[in-house]
Amino acid sequence: MTEPRRVALVADNDESVAEVLRVFLAREGLSVEVVGDGLRARERLLAGPVDVFVCDLDMPLLAGENLLEGLGAQAPPTVIASGYVELGTEARLRRHPAVRDVVRKPFDLLRFAALVAAIARGESQAVEC
């Protein structure tokens, strides 16, 4: 019997970044859904289970940090992937119970995909980006 595919939700308003992440995460065996803004991400997260959430911070309609704050304990395991993160913001994000890592763009796509897949499978964070 095969294990059901884990679901990854990618929220990034940059379509090219989101597509590259979709491809690399799918290669890791994840079922990948992509949304381009924070409101659609929130709707999807509240609609049903997601095994791992990849979230940009700078998104239209609802910023990533505000989205996570609003979800609180309902947020799935989350990896923040952003081009610029101030130190104070990063420290706040790392205190959120759902945040497993904060990764600055650009990053190594193979290592990033392995990290996200490991988190989706519930494995301890053995991969660093």
- What is the mean pLDDT of the segment spanning 25-39? 94
Q: What Rg value do the Cα atoms of the chain yield, rounded?
A: 13
Q: Which residues are within 8 A (CB) of 119 and not within 5 positions of it... i.e. 6 or more apart?
A: 51, 52, 77, 79, 100, 101, 125
Q: Which residues are within 8 A (CB) of 52 and not within 5 positions of it... i.e. 6 or more apart?
A: 6, 7, 8, 9, 30, 76, 77, 78, 79, 116, 117, 119, 120
Residue 122: inside a domain, yes or no?
A: no
pLDDT of residue 41: 95
* Full DSSP string of 54-116: EE-SS-SSS-HHHHHHHHGGGPPSEEEEES---HHHHHHHHHSTTEEEEEESS--HHHHHHHH
- What is the mean pLDDT of the segment spanning 109-125? 87
* pTM of the shown model: 0.89
Residue 124: inside a domain, yes or no?
A: no
Residue 67: inside a domain, yes or no?
A: yes
Residue range 56-103, pLDDT digits in tens? 988 888 888 889 989 888 899 999 998 777 788 888 888 889 999 999
CATH code (residue 96): 3.40.50.2300
Under 8 Å between Cβ of 38 and 61: yes
The count of structural domains within the chain is 1
Residue 128: inside a domain, yes or no?
A: no
